[in-house]
Amino acid sequence: MTKIRHRFIDHNINPKTETLVIGTFNPDTKENIADFFYGRQRNFLWTLIPTAFNETSLKGKTRNEKIDFIKKYQIDFVDLITEVEVEEVANYDDGYLDSKVTKWKDIISEMEKLKNLKRVCLTRKSFGDIPNMKTRIEEIKNYCVKKEIPFQLLPTPARFSNEAKQTEWTNFFRNDNR
């Protein structure tokens, strides 16, 4: 068994964050060359979000360009999982990782620090194969309902991008009438 920590475990959410994007896990392995959240080649988040604001894609751009963008739009990221213990180091599938978690991130504690928080989304819509993550997601959703913070499930930015996916992401990010 191998313990794998989150690649960006030391990332501190900007206290000015208005939009929080919650993901699952970004492994700190030699195979993962992502320089920041959602930075893997087959992930289109850095196209979806900039396009929502009529900006050019940041896919393949530098970490600093992405950080400048999220500061400009008060967006930040956090993942549910801090550490896993696995047999298959290269398996990043949520269904596999769900039962391998050794440390969860306390997302609600992080949200409580964000006084400007206006909306929260999760980069996943289905939960059939992730019962442990689903429990934590439900807790986050309930917290948002209690605090009257809009919470939305968005289609995964991974694997492909299309017009329908872009429309959902744009509607979520532009819902504050900027």
Closest C-alpha to 17, from 164, 140, 120, 171: 120
In a domain, 52, yes or no: yes
H or E element in which residue 62 lies: none
In a domain, 130, yes or no: yes
Which residues of the chain register pLDDT less than 70? 176-178
For residue 93, the model assigns a pLDDT of 87
For residue 29, the model assigns a pLDDT of 87
In a domain, 178, yes or no: no
In a domain, 136, yes or no: yes
d(CA 86, CA 100): 6
Look at the chain and report how many structural domains it folds into: 1
**Tens digits of residue pLDDT in 37-63:** 998 888 999 999 999 999 999 999 999
In a domain, 33, yes or no: yes
In a domain, 150, yes or no: yes
For residue 178, the model assigns a pLDDT of 40
For residue 161, the model assigns a pLDDT of 87
In a domain, 166, yes or no: yes
For residue 125, the model assigns a pLDDT of 92
Domain extent, residue 67, equals 2-173
Residues 6+ apart with CB under 8 A from 33: 39, 40
Q: What is the CATH number of the domain that holds 104?
A: 3.40.470.10
Q: Are 24 and 134 in contact (CB under 8 A)?
A: no
- Tell me the pTM: 0.94
For residue 177, the model assigns a pLDDT of 38
d(CA 178, CA 176): 6
In a domain, 146, yes or no: yes
For residue 16, the model assigns a pLDDT of 97
Sort residue 23 into left (φ over 0), alpha (ψ -120 to 50) or beta: beta
| Percent helix, percent strand, percent coil in the chain, to nearest 5 | 30, 20, 50
